[in-house]
Amino acid sequence: MSTHIHATAQVDPSVNLGDGVRIGPYVVIEAGCALGEDCEVRAHAVITGRSVIGPRNQIGYGAIIGAEPQDYAFKGADSRVEIGSGNRIREYVTIHRATKEGGATRVGNDNFLMGGVHLGHDVQIGNQAILANNTLLSGYVQIGDKVFLGGGTLVHQFTRIGTLAITRGGTRLGKDVPPYFMAVATNLVSGLNRVGLRRAGVSHETRRALQEAYDMLYHANLNVSQALHELRHKFHLPEIANLVEFVAQSKRGICRARQDVGEDDDE
C-alpha cells in the first residue's frame, strides 16, 4: 500500500514514513520524527520533538505528540516520545516529550487513549491500557499493563498504577495504586478489580488469593512490612509476587482502604 499525504499537510522531507501511512488535512510532522507502516494521522494533528511512532497507530484529530514538557526544569534537552504499535490515540490527546537529555515519554502497544487525555513528560505506559476521556497524568507517572483509568482521573507526578488496576471516573491520585485493585475518590482503594481480573482470564483461585492479600494489607492489623512478609511466605503465585514487589518498591506509599464500601464497590 502506498503512502498518502493530503495536499494541505506539512511533512518535513526528512521524516521517515513507513508503507501505507495516511496523513490527513493540515497535519504537521516536523523534522526528526518517524512513523511506522499503516499509521493513520487525522486532520490537524501535530507530531514534533523527534517522536518515534511504530506501526498501525491511529493518531486522532488535533492530537499533539512530542511538544515541549510543561516543566520549569526543561532547558531544551534533546528528548522525545516513543510509541509502540497498534495504539488508538484519539482526538486532542497531548503527549509531551521527556525533560532530560536522552529521555523519552513512552507508550507501549495496543493502548487506547480516549479524547482529551494528557500524558505529561516522562510518563511510561505499558500495554493494553485504556485511559478514558480527559484523564490527566503528570510527569513521571507509570501505568502498568491492562490498566483502566476512568474518565477524568487525575494522577500526581511520580505516582504508579499497577497491572490490571482500575480507577473510577474522577479519581484523584497522589499515592500508588497496587496491581489488581480498584481506586476511588482521593487516594483510596475499595477492593479488587474483579471484572478486569475475570476478563483477563485470572483464575478463581488466584482471585481468591488476591482478595486475601488485599485483606491482609488493609484489614489484618498489620503494618505494610508485616503484611508483605506474610504474603511472601503464604503464597507462591506470580500475581502475588508482582503485588508484593510493587508495594515494596513504593516511594509515595500506597492508597488507603475506603471504609464505607458498598455493594457496588465489590462487583
Residues 125 and 36 in one domain: yes
Amino acid at 110: D
96-133 pLDDT, tens digit each:
999 999 999 999 999 999 999 999 999 999 999 999 99
Count of domains forming the chain: 2
Amino acid at 59: I
Shared-domain flag, residues 25 and 126: yes
Region 24-30 average pLDDT:
98
- The count of C-alpha atoms lying within 13 angstroms of the C-alpha of 265, restricted to the half-sphere facing its C-beta, is 15
Domain edge (last residue) among 158, 192, 226: 192
Of 176, 192, 208, which residue is a domain's last?
192
51, 170: one domain: yes
- Per-residue pLDDT at 261: 58
In this model, does residue 176 exceed pLDDT 90? yes
Is residue 210 domain-shared with residue 178, that is, in the same domain?
A: no
Statement to judge: residues 185 and 258 lie in one domain: no
For residue 262, the model assigns a pLDDT of 52
What is the reported pLDDT for 260? 73
Q: Which residue has the cell 478489580?
A: 193
Distance of alpha carbon 221 from alpha carbon 227, whole angstroms: 9
Instruction: Answer whether residue 263 shows pLDDT above 90.
Output: no
Q: Residue 259 — pLDDT band, cuts 50, 70, 90?
A: confident
| pLDDT digit string, tens, across residues 206-229 | 999 999 999 999 999 999 999 999
Question: What percentage of the chain's residues is helix, strand, coil (to nearest 5)?
Answer: 20, 30, 55
- 247 and 179, same structural domain? no
| Res 266 pLDDT > 90 | no
Taking a C-beta distance cutoff of 8 angstroms, is the pair 26, 7 a contact?
no
Q: What is the arithmetic mean of pLDDT over 140-161?
A: 98
The CATH number assigned to the domain holding 121 equals 2.160.10.10
Domain range for 226? 198-266
Same-domain pairing of 72 and 167:
yes
pLDDT at 264 over 50: no
Catalytic residue positions, numbered:
121-122, 139
Cα of 85 vs its chain's centroid, Å: 14
Instruction: Write the pLDDT tens digit of every residue in 185-207.
Output: 999 999 999 999 999 999 999 99
| pTM for the full predicted model | 0.95
Residue finishing a domain among 148, 177, 192: 192
Say what percent of the chain tops pLDDT 90: 96
CATH number at 248 reads 1.20.1180.10
Same domain, yes or no, for 41 and 160?
Answer: yes
Strands laid side by side in the 52-53 sheet: 16-17, 34-35, 52-53, 80-83, 104-107, 124-125, 142-143, 160-161
The answer on 240 and 171 residing in a single domain is no
Average pLDDT over residues 45-50: 97
What's 71-118 look like in SS3?
A: CCCCCCCCCEEEECCCCEECCCCEEECCCCCCCEEEECCCCEECCCCE
For 218-222, which contacts have Cβ atoms below 8 Å and span 24 or more sequence positions? Answer: 218/189, 218/256, 218/257, 219/257
Q: Virtual CA dihedral for 57, 59, 64, 68, nearest 10 degrees?
A: 0
At residue 173, does pLDDT exceed 50? yes
Q: What is the pLDDT averaged over residues 170-179?
A: 98
